[in-house]
Structure 1
Amino acid sequence: MTVSEVLVIDDHPLFCEALSMTLQSALGVAKVATASRLSEALEMLAGGLSPEAILLDLNLPDVAGLDGLIRLKGAVPGIPVIVVSSMSDNRIVTSVVQAGAAGFVPKDSRRDVFVSAFREIWNGGSYTPDGYCPPAEAETERGPESNAVARLADLTPQQGRILQLVCEGKLNKQIAYELSIAETTVKAHITAILRKLGVQSRTQAVLIAQQARFASILHPPTQ
């Protein structure tokens, strides 16, 4: 399979430049678009950008953890998303795959590893890093984070955005103003969000979102 256009979402310019060069010189990608924030990427996609693959860092200025992947998959469900991150913890890789990523490539991988991984994915396969150990099926089914990811993946892009604002402590009136929609529409979305997540309150919905974020891993506390 030949991929002619790729979107790279990462806020490190030097890494974007190096990755773009690899995509173009080693894989023959004709055009590489870049975005430093998820919001910027979503605007580019809504504006008509049609990449055949997307490379996504988990930790961006406006999103962290699986939030970005889940929202991106909801916005462009037909485009393969490859997570490229410096955080390659076994638990994160598992959740990324469960959330629908086409693969996971550690940022510190050698150039030939990137090339092999992208070729494998673009030919219909998937890629996880060497040394990755998938959890046992029973363990995967029991894990609270796995359950949270599955529920969040069912939200529409708008519902995902509203849930993010709820997590930020915004009231319905504030959410309506920020998204330029009616407050009654916000209430309807929140009712649908609670139903999809299988919870009864906003607080419970926030807890579900927090289970999928891995904030403690992506932003470890300083000693």
Structure 2
Amino acid sequence: MNDKPSIRVEGALQNALIIDDHPLFCDALSMTLKAGLGIERVQTAGALEEALSVLDGGLEPDVILLDLNLPDVNGLDGLVRLIKLCPRTPVVIVSSMAEPRVVRSAIRVGAAGFVPKHSPRDVFRKAFAHIANGEIYAPEGAFSESDANMPLSSGEEALIRLSHLTKQQARILQLICEGQMNKQIAYELSIAETTVKAHVTAIMRKLGVQSRTQAVLIAQEANFNSLLPDT
């Protein structure tokens, strides 16, 4: 997607992080990754915040596998937060929510692939072969001709727009949502007011809006504050 760093894929995928709150599925998926795909080290997290904590602590997986149904996150919110924190690490959705609309939305937001839960090992092998080559993987039929013309929901569209923002721009938008003006934001972030103005202009361009109020409405549509860790 435009304005995003390219996904980093250097050689074989050797280290993986699974984010799923079902221990038995995590164990089964870990076995699939190790025995069937040659992944050497697999770490698991049962919630998004747990995963963000270990990533903040220095964990650098070659690939992240994310379930969309987690106790502390809804839908694609977790994907957006992971992309913000690890913009060059491929994130693969592994979920039972495999309707074409969900798959398409996840890919458009920035997922490197989508594998329905309980897919056979060959499907995971095929998906990881695509991802290791820097390609995007989606299940067959996910982008049928009839589905391609189906509009996204307003919340999904808002998430896609917000996914274009850099980490600094996302923080500035959060402060705008709190009602702060440019001078206050500059003081809060210890940057020049002219820098804030440049970021605000870029934010409105990426969101396709003409005013701060419209930007706030898009952020509210996507429940934007829930996407950002407390600072």
TM-score, length-scaled by structure 1: 0.72
* C-alpha contact 2:101 2:147 (8 A) present in aligned 1: no
Q: Which residue of 1 aligns with 2:6?
A: none
Using the TM superposition, give the Cα deviation of residue 89 of structure 1 relative to its aligned residue in structure 2, in angstroms: 1.0
* C-alpha contact 1:120 1:127 (8 A) present in aligned 2: yes
2:29 equivalent to 1:19: yes
Aligned-partner Cα distance in 1 for 2:162–2:142: 24
* Structure 1 pair 117–142 and aligned structure 2 pair: CA distance change class (3 A): closer
Using the TM superposition, give the Cα deviation of residue 122 of structure 1 relative to its aligned residue in structure 2, in angstroms: 1.5
* C-alpha contact 1:95 1:149 (8 A) present in aligned 2: no
SS of the residue corresponding to residue 44 of structure 1 reads: helix
* C-alpha contact 2:156 2:222 (8 A) present in aligned 1: no
Aligned-partner Cα distance in 1 for 2:213–2:138: 36
* C-alpha contact 1:194 1:205 (8 A) present in aligned 2: no
* Structure 1 pair 108–81 and aligned structure 2 pair: CA distance change class (3 A): same
Structure 2 spans left out of the alignment, 5+ residues:
1-10, 180-184, 227-231
Count of residue pairs brought into register by the alignment: 199
SS of the residue corresponding to residue 222 of structure 2 reads: helix
* C-alpha contact 2:15 2:42 (8 A) present in aligned 1: yes
2:64 equivalent to 1:65: no
Q: Which residue of 1 aligns with 2:188?
A: 185
* Structure 1 pair 162–109 and aligned structure 2 pair: CA distance change class (3 A): farther
RMSD over aligned Cα, in angstroms?
3.6
Aligned-partner Cα distance in 2 for 1:145–1:206: 9
* Structure 1 pair 144–111 and aligned structure 2 pair: CA distance change class (3 A): same
Using the TM superposition, give the Cα deviation of residue 127 of structure 1 relative to its aligned residue in structure 2, in angstroms: 1.3
Using the TM superposition, give the Cα deviation of residue 108 of structure 1 relative to its aligned residue in structure 2, in angstroms: 2.5
Q: Deviations over 1:63-102 (max 9, x none)?
A: 1111110111111111011000100111111110001111
Using the TM superposition, give the Cα deviation of residue 59 of structure 1 relative to its aligned residue in structure 2, in angstroms: 1.5
Aligned-partner Cα distance in 2 for 1:140–1:63: 25
* C-alpha contact 2:158 2:218 (8 A) present in aligned 1: no
Q: Deviations over 1:33-69 (max 9, x none)?
A: 1111111111111111011111011121111111110
Q: Deviations over 1:141-170 (max 9, x none)?
A: 886455313321034457768989x99xxx
Q: Which residue of 1 aligns with 2:101?
A: 91
* Off by >3 Å, runs of 4+ in structure 1: 134-147, 155-164, 191-199
TM-score, length-scaled by structure 2: 0.70
SS of the residue corresponding to residue 111 of structure 2 reads: coil
Amino acid at match of 2:111: A
